[in-house]
Amino acid sequence: MSKERLIQLLKENDIVKFGDFTLSSGKKSKYYIDMKKAITNPIILKTIAILISNDFKNLQIDKIAGPALGAVPIATAISLESNTPLLMIRKEKKGYGTSKLIEGELNPGDNVIVVEDVTTTGGSLLKAIKAIEENGGNVISSYVVVDRKEGALYEFRKNNVHLKPLLQISDFLS
C-alpha cells in the first residue's frame, strides 16, 4: 500500500469534490472532502488502516483512539489491522448510562495513537487528545487522512503534539 494508491482510490471514488460548498463551520470552500463516503468503502478504509499501522509498527502502542463520528471507523480498522485495543472519544459526556467521555479501557500510562478523518484547524482532534491526556494516557502521535492545510499543523506544533497527515489537499489540486 502506498500514498499514491490512496490518492488514486480517493480520486476514483470522487471523494474530493470541487465547486461551492458550505462546511460544518459555516465557512465557504471551493472543495469538499467527503470522508464519510471514503470510510464506508472497505477498500479505502483498509488502505488507510494499513498505511497508518505500518507507520507506527515499531512503536510501543497500547491503544488506538478516534473521536466520534468520522474517526471511529478509521480507528476500528487500524485496531483490527494492528491488533491494538480501541478507544472511542465522544464529543461530550452523555447524561445517562456510564456518562463516559472515553469508551474503551484507558489505563494510566497507556501509549495512544489518535486518528482523524479530516483536519482544518485541528480543534476537534486536539480536544480528543486533551481528553486522553487528562485521563492518564500518553498521546504518542496523531494521524489524519487528509489535512485541508488551514492551520492544523501549526496548531499542533504550537501544542507540542505530533500530527502526521497521510495526504494534504494539495495532493488533489495538481
Binding residues for orotate: 120, 148
Q: Is 5 exposed, middle or buried (0-12, 13-18, 19+ CB in 10 A)?
A: middle
Cα 93 from Cα 50, distance rounded (Å): 31
Query: Measured in whole angstroms, how far is the alpha carbon of residue 129 from the centre of its chain?
Result: 11
Q: What does the buried/exposed string (b/e) look like for 70-93 if buried means 16 or more CB atoms within 10 Å of the residue's CB?
A: bbbbbbbbbbebbebbbbbbbeee
Binding residues for 5-phospho-alpha-D-ribose 1-diphosphate: 90-91, 94, 116-124
For the record, the C-alpha cell of 112 comes out as: 495512544
Q: Is 172 helix (H, G, I), strand (E, B) or coil?
A: helix
Asked if the bond preceding 69 is cis, omega within 30° of 0, the reply is yes
For the record, the C-alpha cell of 154 comes out as: 501549526
Binding residues: 90-91, 94, 116-124, 148
In what helix (H) or strand (E) does residue 119 lie, and over which residues does it extend? strand 111-119
For the record, the C-alpha cell of 125 comes out as: 482532534
